[in-house]
Amino acid sequence: MGEKEEGMAEDHVSRDEHRADLAGLRGELEELSGVRQEIAVLAKTMEANQERMLLRFEQMDQRFEQVQQQMRADREVMLLRFEQVDQHFEQVDQRFEQVDQQFSRHETRLMSLENWMRTTYVTLAIVAVGVASQLFYTLLRFGLKPTP
């Protein structure tokens, strides 16, 4: 039993040591509690940062959507303007075709008039030659002779 007493004596802790151990454990618990509070604060900070980041992403998505809508609207306006310009060019082209047709008709009329004038001049020349011949023949017949 002597050994048991010695073993127990070694196991026996004084109240002061026990209090010191408890104070140390309390200090560690307080430290752990502080760490737990810091972790909770960090978790809340991370959560707030994540919410801000998601809000920023949402804002970026909205802005991107606005830009895309504006680009679509601009594209529609450009296509409309291109169609208007294309229609204007078609109208100008049609007008040129009309002018070309009118020019062709006038050219045809001028050629007909030119042919008519040639025919008229030839006819007048033939008539003039005929009248001159008839006059000359008539003068000769009445005895009038041309002077040399």
Q: What is the pLDDT of residue 145?
A: 67
From first to last of the 148 residues of the chain, give the pLDDT tens digit.
Answer: 455 554 444 567 788 888 888 888 888 878 888 888 889 999 999 999 999 999 999 999 999 999 999 999 999 999 999 999 999 999 999 999 999 999 999 999 999 999 999 999 999 999 999 999 998 888 888 877 666 6
- Give the list of residues 6+ apart from residue 139 with CB closer than 8 angstroms, or none: 145, 146
| pTM, full prediction | 0.44
In a domain, 135, yes or no: no
In a domain, 86, yes or no: yes
In terms of residue numbers, what domain contains 12? 2-108
Are residues 125 and 118 in contact, defined by beta-carbon separation less than 8 angstroms? no
Q: Is residue 15 part of a domain?
A: yes
Please check whether residue 42 lies inside any domain of the structure: yes
Q: Is residue 36 part of a domain?
A: yes
Output the pLDDT for position 36. 85
The answer to the question of residue 6 being in a domain is: yes
Is 75 within the bounds of a domain? yes
Split into its structural domains, the chain has a count of 1
